[in-house]
């Protein structure tokens, strides 16, 4: 059976549209605001949502997401609370959810238990930031057994050997990190070299390619939508949730959705 993630991407492709994938830290700044913001983002045009598991040492993230994790932890959020949130949200939206986190909380919970409970709650995939494909067998196997997509990261430094390793386990889509370094909004759109990397990745991995890290404006999102299957936005959205709650999140995602749809209508993405 096709996953909810795959079905969503396929439907958008048929419509000539690019998927918008927002990231939010669950529990930031508190559980109620977080719930409201997630629903607002889904209603405003977020096609697939990455739900960040708060963690004390998010080494791949810049200051905005690091601080959001600290606020969420201080508010009492945890992996079990995130799963409870997913179950609550699943009763109210069909938007696909990806649990996005670091391996320490996943390992402590247990690979099999995590996949089982995530699927039961209504999650659709898992992305573990610091688990390379060479060590991902147990978690990937548990996800496969419970019908969860396995989302993996590639970077500008990834060679063909790493791409083949990712191809062994990945499903749903592949997340292409647009820059070396940590997450965070940037002034310019991802470099043209990422377009070439996406093209080379498609020759090896037969999955949709999403591009993220640094996208913060409708113009940048539209630029990426010209060649990627998914546009992924994190820090800029997290900052708006912190500053203005669900209303600010809704407005921001609506602007990105309009920018992507306006520019991507005539974009040609090689398959």
Distance CA 259, CA 271 (A): 23
- The pLDDT assigned to 184 comes to 45
Q: Give the list of residues 6+ apart from residue 148 with CB closer than 8 angstroms, or none.
A: 3, 115, 118, 119, 123, 124, 125, 126
Q: Shortest CA distance to 68 belongs to which of 11, 28, 116?
A: 28
Q: What is the pLDDT of residues 73-109, one digit of tens each?
A: 999 999 999 999 999 999 999 999 999 999 999 999 9
- The pLDDT assigned to 95 comes to 98
Q: Report the percent of the chain where pLDDT is more than 90.
A: 85
Catalytic residue among 30, 43, 57, 61: 61
Domain span holding position 111: 4-264
Q: What is the pLDDT of residues 178-206, one digit of tens each?
A: 765 445 444 555 555 788 899 999 999 99
What is the arithmetic mean of pLDDT over 56-76? Answer: 93
The total number of structural domains in the chain stands at: 1
- Tell me if residue 187 is catalytic: no
Six-digit token pair at 80?
Answer: 């079990």
Distance CA 38, CA 51 (A): 9
- CATH number of the domain where residue 92 is located: 3.20.20.70
Q: What is the pLDDT of residues 105-141, one digit of tens each?
A: 999 999 999 999 999 999 999 999 999 999 999 999 9
Q: Is residue 244 part of a domain?
A: yes
Comparison of pLDDT for 156 and 123, the residue scoring more: 123
Tell me the H-state helices in the chain.
Answer: 4-14, 31-44, 63-74, 79-90, 103-109, 111-121, 137-145, 160-169, 192-202, 218-225, 235-264
Q: Is residue 253 part of a domain?
A: yes
Q: Is residue 270 part of a domain?
A: no
Q: Is residue 12 part of a domain?
A: yes
Q: Is residue 269 part of a domain?
A: no
Catalytic residue among 28, 47, 50, 149: 50
Q: Is residue 104 part of a domain?
A: yes
Comparison of pLDDT for 38 and 59, the residue scoring more: 38
Q: Is residue 271 part of a domain?
A: no
| CA–centroid distance for 170 within its chain | 14
Q: Is residue 141 part of a domain?
A: yes
- The pLDDT assigned to 54 comes to 97
Q: Judge whether 35 and 88 are in contact, CB under 8 Å.
A: yes
Six-digit token pair at 39?
Answer: 């629903």
Look at residue 4 and tell me whether its pLDDT is greater than 80: yes
- Tell me if residue 61 is catalytic: yes
């Amino acid at each position: 059976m096709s996953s909810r993630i795959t079905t969503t991407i396929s439907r958008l492709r048929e419509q000539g549209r690019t998927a918008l994938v927002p990231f939010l830290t669950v529990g930031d700044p508190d559980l109620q605001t977080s719930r409201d913001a997630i629903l607002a983002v889904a209603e405003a045009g977020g096609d697939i949502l990455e739900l960040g598991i708060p963690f004390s040492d998010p080494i791949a993230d810049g200051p905005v997401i690091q601080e959001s994790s600290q606020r969420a932890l201080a508010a009492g959020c945890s992996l079990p609370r995130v799963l409870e949130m997913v179950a609550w949200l699943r009763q109210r939206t069909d938007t696909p959810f990806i649990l996005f986190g670091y391996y320490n909380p996943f390992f402590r919970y247990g690979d099999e238990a995590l996949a089982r409970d995530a699927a039961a709650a209504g999650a659709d995939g898992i992305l573990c930031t610091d688990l390379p494909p060479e060590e991902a067998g147990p978690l990937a196997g548990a996800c496969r057994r419970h019908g969860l997509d396995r989302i993996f990261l590639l970077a500008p430094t990834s060679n063909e050997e790493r791409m083949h390793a990712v191809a062994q386990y990945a499903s749903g889509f592949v997340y292409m990190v647009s820059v070396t370094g940590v997450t965070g909004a940037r002034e310019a759109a991802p470099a043209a070299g990422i377009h070439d990397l996406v093209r080379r990745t498609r020759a090896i991995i037969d999955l949709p390619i999403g591009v993220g890290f640094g996208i913060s404006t409708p113009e940048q999102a539209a630029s990426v939508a010209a060649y990627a299957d998914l546009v992924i936005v994190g820090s800029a959205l997290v900052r708006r949730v912190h500053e203005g709650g669900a209303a600010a999140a809704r407005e921001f995602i609506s602007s990105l959705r309009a920018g992507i749809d306006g520019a991507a209508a005539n974009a040609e993405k090689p398959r």
